[in-house]
Amino acid sequence: MSAPVPKSPPASSKGRSATMSAIRRRDTKPEKELRSLLHALGLRFRVDHRIETRSGRVRPDVVFTRARLAIFVDGCFWHGCPEHSRKPQVNSGYWGPKLDRNRARDRENVAALEADGWTVFRFWEHDDMPAAADQVAAAARR
Ligand SMILES: [Zn+2]
User: Is the distance from CB of 74 to CB of 123 less than 8 angstroms?
Assistant: yes
- Distance from residue 117's CA to the centre of ligand 1 (Å): 28
Residue 23, pLDDT above cutoff 90: no
19, pLDDT greater than 80: no
Question: What are the tens digits of pLDDT across the range 34-44?
Answer: 999 999 999 99
CA of 89 to the centre of ligand 1 (A): 18
Of 67, 81, 85, 87, nearest in space to 136 by CA: 67
Report CA(55)–ligand 1 centroid distance (Å).
26
State in Å: Cα 29 to ligand 1 middle: 14
Predicted pLDDT of residue 1: 41
Own/partner pairs, 25-29, CB within 8 angstroms, 24+ separation: 26/75, 26/125, 27/75, 27/77, 27/78, 27/125, 29/125
Distance 124 CA to ligand 1 centre (A): 6
Q: Residue 129's closest CA among 17, 53, 29, 14? A: 29
Tell how far the Cα of 75 is from the centroid of ligand 1, in angstroms.
7
The C-alpha R_g of the chain, in whole angstroms, comes to 17
Per-residue pLDDT tens digits for 46-105 = 998 999 999 899 999 999 999 999 999 999 988 989 898 777 788 888 888 999 999 999
Distance 23 CA to ligand 1 centre (A): 11
Query: Is pLDDT of 45 > 50?
Result: yes
Rounded to the nearest whole angstrom, what is the distance from the C-alpha of residue 22 to the centroid of ligand 1? 15
Q: How far apart are CA 23 and CA 129, in angstroms?
A: 18
Is the distance from CB of 134 to CB of 84 less than 8 angstroms?
A: no
CB atoms within 10 A of CB 71: 25
Question: 5 CA distance to ligand 1 centroid (A)?
Answer: 31
C-alpha of residue 66 to centroid of ligand 1, in Å: 30
What pLDDT is stored for residue 20 in this prediction?
53
Q: Which residue has the higher pLDDT, 114 or 9?
A: 114
What global pTM score does this model have? Answer: 0.77
Q: Which of 4-8, 93-97, 124-128, 129-133 has the lowest mean pLDDT?
A: 4-8
Q: Are 120 and 72 in contact (CB under 8 A)?
A: yes
Selection from 21, 34, 62, 56 nearest residue 127 by Cα: 34
User: pLDDT above 90 covers what percent of the chain?
Assistant: 61
Dist. CA 18–CA 24, nearest whole Å: 10
